[in-house]
Chains A and B, each alone.
Chain A
């Protein structure tokens, strides 16, 4: 066969696949997720969590919103775990799955999907290294992210990951966890112990003690300046050599000590600060490098802060809003009665400190399955949302917007099996879009309002234009060409963009447009479909998680 014939064959294959998805027959779709084994089940944990919320709502005298549709829950899970709304291909397969434990099996399958590892790795890297460029050569965000992706793919323990990050030794290219340390390298070539201390407590213990670097914390009397200094001193020995990050002495010199120069005093007379922890020193191991001892203390099985911090972050990534806001400023656990973060934390510990446990319990819990605030009273809607008696309406983050736009412009899932050109296009689109749209930054779980620039970009920019165009092999073109009738065109378009079917009013509106255009020729019908996709891309329903 010549090249032309190969191309024709490839196009036919793609078209056949699209026909299958569009017509709703999924015989050739990816295999359905396998059954859940008894040891994989987390039903008791989910029940405990649901019970806590039920009691919580009863006490508050609030009626939770009714449960939403399976498709809406599926969209939420896809946005949270892949950073995009689901493809028509996946929606069809999910809808046609009639086996028991459907949602649980699909969540399991999503957690095994490389899209999850890649997407979550990028989210976690932000909490570990911010979004700054970092020191030239010595910081490699790509290596850190790839390493995190590998850990997530093998469902590694978060405690182990944490210990490797805090106590990392070696070259930042060879031992990617070392980038957690090198991001703190300053202009004068020293490592900023204060930066590492603040970051460690925020990311791994979910508390902000940064104020205590200069003075006792103004708003939290528990944190004293000497607590911060003691924590920073654990990083006092770390330095960067040609061999990479190390705590070991070099050139026969003893490791340098962490010193603090008090304001107004001679910097030469800076006092040496010894490493110390602010509570439970008995959790510290007797031996090991300074950083490995600190890492063991941070991840100690009795350290509730550690499990609550990661539970709150995963909750935030699942809902778009953490259980406690901001995500890294939790109240002291000693002051908390058992709350959902503790319930999640206990299960996390029980199941090998795996992030997948947290994702699964949260995805199956009642709050994740509830509708968005449904009361007619706006004040009651806000209350429902605050108490998790309804799914909070949260604006999609930039990467979720472009992820969903890109996916909505295709019938099949854009994943590791997609053609390399499609994957490259996805990556390029995401980078370019975020540059124009604006990056959510390190604090990406803090709600941000939309801007006029963003609205203009979505309405008139090249992204929605190209992805919503009826062109060779684009999603809108396939929908138009392969849907059996006008109602199927409208339905498929809605499913691709909003993961739901149109209301009767919406169906009538767009059917009418398509019928009117029929007499004006194919080009007019193409224009109607493009205008339908444009409106779907620009509706608030597309831009918000709900």
Chain B
């Protein structure tokens, strides 16, 4: 049976004719040879969608009014205890920085997510790019034939480029470990060649009639990139067939676990930012059960990701950020749930030059009666964003001009040395 896939050799043959030169792919492919600090840095964001409860994960307060049913366990860091819902992560805490005092004022899902993802509070007249979009817009990846920013978020909206433009939107991966959607030509090679010849003729006529406009549309450029991606060997990064079964099992037989493993492979290939989403944290009802079941998915995936990156000498060049749009209330509501709580919540960072075996911030165990007090040593979201940019070699104070001429810095704070080693 004739293969439906557009083979690289066929494409090269086809593109060898002068009229089809725009179809030629880049020649240099693999971008992952280097290791350790020498390697270009990447970011993996594990997005706990819906609002992860700090009390059922990184910041338990058992035996207190706000503690609920959650128990705590010791970790590899002396004196540090986390919730018993994360036993495997307890073994990895010596490689991580835990921040228990992230603060926000956005208690709505969309606004909270927009704030945490971008480091800027949402405004009605300006859509800020996510941190990932800023990173890929600032860091060139000339040898990368697959998108530099990938979101593993089935059924959820992808992180967007905001005022930078949707060219910096994340590329959505629907089913981690399975073939990427829309990458195979739906017809045999001979017909694909005819299609491309037809397209070439029609595009040429349009381009000749409107040279400036054609340049503006970047249509040929994007067609070239799309075709290059369709035939790229780097697509192997999306596949898990080569991975040993024990490792796949260690990540967990879940979509999120497979997403984390794909994230490692993508980073290894040279992708700069991957976001993997784990939904299901919006537990207004039966909070303990809901959070526990999601932590059961998170725990093997995150702990294996950290150890896997370490074993491959990739953790120094990869920052792993596990975060949510907000936390959940210290008080438990009559339905056994916890509601939205932006006043303080936790995030975990591993890799790069971020501190290890460290904890920042302390939160009250009591349920606040009125306005919540600030946790000790509060850390702001913009501070985290600026520090990550700094670690990726991006000047976070750099100003960009928005489409309406407003100067905006890449991050709304300065990098923070207290987060670093």
List A residues at the B interface (Cβ < 8 Å).
130, 132-133, 186-187, 195, 198-199, 202, 208, 210-211, 219, 326, 328-329, 372-373, 376, 378-379, 381-382, 385, 393, 395, 436, 438, 441, 443, 446, 448-453, 455-457, 459-461, 465, 503, 505-506, 509-510, 513, 527-528, 530-532, 534-536, 538-541, 543-544, 546
CB neighbours of B206 from chain A (8 A)? 539-541
Q: 26 A-B residue contacts at CB 8 Å?
A: A130-B124, A198-B125, A210-B124, A378-B212, A378-B215, A381-B213, A382-B212, A393-B216, A393-B217, A438-B158, A438-B169, A441-B127, A448-B165, A449-B165, A451-B167, A451-B222, A456-B182, A457-B182, A506-B202, A509-B198, A530-B187, A534-B198, A535-B199, A539-B202, A540-B206, A540-B219
CB neighbours of A453 from chain B (8 A)? 147, 169, 171-172, 182
Partner of A543, one of B172, B209, B212, B219: B219
CB neighbours of A503 from chain B (8 A)? 205
CB neighbours of A198 from chain B (8 A)? 124-125
Q: Are B183 and A460 in contact (CB under 8 A)?
A: yes
Q: Are B182 and A461 in contact (CB under 8 A)?
A: yes
Given A187-B107, A210-B124, A453-B171, residue A326 in contact with residue B186 (CB < 8 A) = no
CB neighbours of A535 from chain B (8 A)? 195, 198-199, 201-202
- Cβ-based interface call for B194 (8 A): yes
**Nearest B-chain residue to A537, judged by Cβ:** B199
Which 10 residue pairs are nearest across A and B when measured between Cβ atoms?
A535-B198, A378-B212, A381-B212, A540-B219, A539-B202, A455-B226, A393-B213, A456-B182, A460-B182, A449-B167
- Cβ-based interface call for B41 (8 A): no
Interface string of B90-112 (1 = CB under 8 A from A): 00000000000000000110100
Q: A532 to B191, alpha carbons, bound, how many Å?
A: 11
CB neighbours of B226 from chain A (8 A)? 452, 455-456, 459
CB neighbours of A210 from chain B (8 A)? 123-125
Q: A465 to B213, alpha carbons, bound, how many Å?
A: 28
- Cβ-based interface call for B249 (8 A): no
Q: Which of B174-226 contact A (CB under 8 A)?
A: 181-187, 191, 194-195, 198-199, 201-203, 205-207, 209-219, 222-223, 225-226
CB neighbours of A544 from chain B (8 A)? 213, 217
Q: A451 to B218, alpha carbons, bound, how many Å?
A: 10
Q: Are B124 and A546 in contact (CB under 8 A)?
A: no
Q: Which of B99-138 contact A (CB under 8 A)?
A: 107-108, 110, 123-125, 127
Q: Are A373 and B210 in contact (CB under 8 A)?
A: yes
Q: Which of B127-160 contact A (CB under 8 A)?
A: 127, 147, 158
Given A441-B127, A505-B205, residue A186 in contact with residue B108 (CB < 8 A) = yes
Closest Cβ of chain A to B50, distance in Å, is: 14
- Cβ-based interface call for B166 (8 A): yes
Given A199-B124, A456-B182, residue A372 in contact with residue B194 (CB < 8 A) = no
CB neighbours of A186 from chain B (8 A)? 108
Given A202-B124, A505-B205, residue A531 in contact with residue B194 (CB < 8 A) = yes
Partner of B186, one of A195, A460, A539: A460
Q: A546 to B214, alpha carbons, bound, how many Å?
A: 11
Q: Are A132 and B191 in contact (CB under 8 A)?
A: no
Q: Are B183 and A456 in contact (CB under 8 A)?
A: yes
Q: Are B125 and A202 in contact (CB under 8 A)?
A: yes
CB neighbours of A465 from chain B (8 A)? 186
Chain B CB within 10 Å, residue with most, of A328, A451, A503, A506: A451
Closest Cβ of chain B to A159, distance in Å, is: 24
- Cβ-based interface call for B33 (8 A): no
Q: Are A372 and B213 in contact (CB under 8 A)?
A: yes
Given contacts A506-B201, A530-B187, 10 further A-B contacts (CB under 8 A): A210-B124, A326-B403, A373-B213, A378-B212, A381-B213, A448-B165, A531-B194, A531-B195, A531-B198, A541-B206
Q: Are B198 and A373 in contact (CB under 8 A)?
A: no
Closest Cβ of chain B to A182, distance in Å, is: 14
Partner of A381, one of B171, B182, B211, B406: B211
**Nearest A-chain residue to B194, judged by Cβ:** A531
Q: A455 to B127, alpha carbons, bound, how many Å?
A: 24
Given A459-B182, A546-B210, residue A451 in contact with residue B123 (CB < 8 A) = no
Q: Are B147 and A452 in contact (CB under 8 A)?
A: yes
Chain A CB within 10 Å, residue with most, of B110, B202, B203, B211: B202
CB neighbours of A385 from chain B (8 A)? 213
- Cβ-based interface call for B306 (8 A): no
Q: A449 to B164, alpha carbons, bound, how many Å?
A: 10
Q: Are B219 and A450 in contact (CB under 8 A)?
A: yes
Closest Cβ of chain A to B185, distance in Å, is: 6
Closest Cβ of chain B to A532, distance in Å, is: 6
